Amino acid sequence: MARIMITSGPTRQYLDPVRYLTNGSSGRMGRSLAQAALDLGHDVVIISGPVEIDYPARAEIVPVVSTEELLDACQRVFPGCDGLIAAAAPCDYRPIRVASQKIAKTGNPLVLQLIETPDVVATLGATRRPDQWMVGFALETEDQRLRALVKLEKKSCDLMILNGPEAMNSRRNQVEIIERNGSLIDALAGPKEEVARGILHVIHKRLITPFQSDFQRSVNLASIVSRPR
Ligand code: C5P
């Protein structure tokens, strides 16, 4: 069985001690994926931004707030895992300057200067071991398949789960699963729990079992080679 790291929920980027940038991710897709993975007998570590929902009690939870913290936690945990499912919606921008006190109103427009946060999946993808697998999510509003495929390549993923903005903070989802050569493996729609079971089924069949049988073959071969005559 595999040890799977799942990123989930939104991140927050503070402007001052009380205000932050974020998005509407609920963590429900991450929770459903975790449950589906646990039901198949895998171990699960969830690295999650701030959410209102509860995660399965059998999963190990690492709470984080910002995208930088998400990256730090993932870099610590991923070396001990076989694969990643990146269902989080990390903030892509952060304010260049974080005020130490609450920003007071002045009657004038407030101009925020933002810079990009690190891309967690792309950073992990750049140093992943050959035996590790990675599955990303792409939420697109136009040229969906093409953009998802570009992200799959840029982020060194094995599969990309494509969904639309209606997935955000919803109990249902509609996804397409795309592989490295651009072909569509599966299209799933329904409650997030059901869609998550379908996604885990594909991951199990294409990314976990083939590697385990290769590994098993090499273990069997090693035992034949080293067996005393
Ligand atoms: O935001 P984007 O469409 O690039 O997200 C696609 C994938 O990359 C998702 O799996 C998301 O979890 C991941 N991501 C990330 N770090 C970011 C932005 C996105 O890991 N800063």
CATH of the domain at 35: 3.40.50.10300
Strand pairing category for 133-139 and 184-191: unpaired
The reply to whether ligand 1 has any atom less than 6 angstroms from the CB of 136 is yes
Has residue 166 got a pLDDT over 90? no
pLDDT in tens, 169-216: 788 889 999 999 999 999 999 999 999 999 999 999 999 987 665 555
Has residue 105 got a pLDDT over 50? yes
Has residue 25 got a pLDDT over 60? yes
Q: Would 32 be classed as within a structural domain?
A: yes
* Residue ID of nearest Cα to ligand 1 atom 2: 138
Answer for the pair 36, 199: CB distance below 8 angstroms, yes or no. Answer: yes
Count of domains for the chain: 1
For residue 123, the ligand 1 atom closest to its alpha carbon is 20
**What is the whole-number distance in angstroms between the Cα of residue 154 and the centre of ligand 1?**
11
Segment 38-50 shows an average pLDDT of 98
Q: Would 98 be classed as within a structural domain?
A: no
Q: Residue 39's pLDDT is what?
A: 97
CA-nearest of 154, 157, 166 to 203 is 157
Residue type at position 71: L
Has residue 168 got a pLDDT over 80? no
Segment 6-15 shows an average pLDDT of 98
Range of the domain at 144: 3-90+116-226
pLDDT top residue among 224 and 77: 77
Q: Would 101 be classed as within a structural domain?
A: no
For residue 7, the ligand 1 atom closest to its alpha carbon is 12
* Alpha carbons 81 and 5: distance in angstroms, whole number: 6
Q: Residue 224's pLDDT is what?
A: 45
Q: Please give the positions annotated as active site.
A: 23
Q: Which of 5, 71, 120 to mutate to test the pocket of ligand 1 (most atoms within 8 A of CB)?
A: 120
63-82 per-residue burial string, b: 16 or more CB within 10 A, e: under 16: ebbbbbbbbbbbeebbeebb
**What is the whole-number distance in angstroms between the Cα of residue 103 and the centre of ligand 1?**
29
Answer for the pair 8, 31: CB distance below 8 angstroms, yes or no. Answer: yes
Q: Which of 47, 133, 137 to mutate to test the pocket of ligand 1 (most atoms within 8 A of CB)?
A: 137
Q: Would 197 be classed as within a structural domain?
A: yes
Q: Would 148 be classed as within a structural domain?
A: yes
* Alpha carbons 164 and 148: distance in angstroms, whole number: 11
**What is the whole-number distance in angstroms between the Cα of residue 124 and the centre of ligand 1?**
11
Strand pairing category for 172-179 and 159-163: antiparallel
